[in-house]
Amino acid sequence: MSESATWRASLQEKKMARLRGLLVGLGVMAVAAGSLMGWGVALADNAPILTPEQKALVEQTVKEYIIAHPEIVQDALLELDKRQKEAENAAVKSALKTEAKAIYDVSAGTVVGNPKGDVTLVEFFDYNCPYCRKAMTTLDALLKSDPKLRIVLRDLPIVHPPESIEVAKIALAAKNQLSPDKFWDFHKKLFSASRIVAKPQALQVAKEAGLDMARLDKDAESDVVKAALIDSDRLSQILNLRGTPAFVLGDEVVFGAQDDEEMKTQIGAVRQCGRTVC
């Protein structure tokens, strides 16, 4: 099953779970209402709230009401979705502050562009993500047009494991031997190596770049590289990243490949007010 199909199935299961929870909640409210209306409820300690007959009546009443007014289920789910999204957004906003040091940690990523730039854009990406390939062309244009832009590349190899993981390890090891400009060239060549980039293609690109292959192999299996991948995965969960590419810019997480002008507008806004929208 593809990543997108898995995500859709997970989303559907979450919706069904919310629906089941809603129905249970309606049943509880009906039970409470029945108690208040004097259905002969026993209040003694350890006594059942309702008799089996009363419980069956409550369930039938709730069922009939929902069938007669199915829109209440949709309305309730929409409201629940709204509240959950608000809670998720608040959690992400908080994480962007509390996890800022980890998000921008250059030891866990690779810096390209101006290392002292006035705006930093963090990209979580996978070399086997077609949308990341599209995003790479956008970032390439931004680097050429914006000399004050600093980009931190964070490998998040989730699209095509284990190949993506092996390629990410090689890329993280390669940065030890390449200047930012040379690494960006290496980065672009990895994306164009083949439709599915695996370890052989990555090693070939590294060889063509003139890297010390023995050192590359050693660095790729280092604890530093492993820690970088683990931390990127941890951050992806905290920031609720559902796929790649995903960007941290200012006080926002931006999902999906953006076109040049849209990204330029957001970067300009961050320069002006610290947010993607002023």
Q: Which residue has the tokens 């990341």?
A: 132
Q: Which of 204, 267, 249 is nearest to 96 (CA)?
A: 249
Q: Which of 57, 23, 59, 25 is nearest to 39 (CA)?
A: 57
What gap in Å lies between CA 27 and CA 21, rounded to an integer? 10
- The number of angstroms, rounded, from the C-alpha of 170 to the middle of its chain's C-alpha atoms is 23
Inter-helix orientation angle 163-174/213-220, to 10° = 120
Scanning the chain, the segments in alpha helix (DSSP H) are: 3-36, 52-68, 71-98, 100-103, 130-145, 163-174, 180-192, 199-208, 213-220, 223-238, 260-273
Model confidence over 92-135: pLDDT tens digits?
999 999 999 999 999 999 999 999 999 999 999 999 999 999 99
Q: Which of 187, 196, 188, 186 is nearest to 130 (CA)?
A: 196
Taking only the tens of pLDDT, the chain with its 278 residues reads: 444 444 445 555 655 555 555 555 555 455 444 444 444 444 445 555 778 888 888 889 888 888 998 898 888 889 888 888 888 889 999 999 999 999 999 999 999 999 999 999 999 999 999 999 999 999 999 999 999 999 999 999 999 999 999 999 999 999 999 999 999 999 999 999 778 999 999 999 999 999 999 999 999 999 999 999 999 999 999 999 989 999 999 999 999 999 999 999 999 999 999 999 99
CATH code of the domain occupying 102-273: 3.40.30.10
End-to-end CA distance of the chain: 40
What gap in Å lies between CA 271 and CA 56, rounded to an integer? 63
User: What ranges do the domains of the chain cover?
Assistant: 3-69, 102-273
pLDDT over 90 percentage in the chain: 66
Question: Is there a contact between 174 and 153 (Cβ–Cβ < 8 Å)?
Answer: no
- The number of angstroms, rounded, from the C-alpha of 38 to the middle of its chain's C-alpha atoms is 50
pLDDT over 70 percentage in the chain: 83
How many CB atoms neighbour CB 31 within 10 A? 19
Task: Please give the model's pTM, rounded to 2 decimal places.
Answer: 0.74
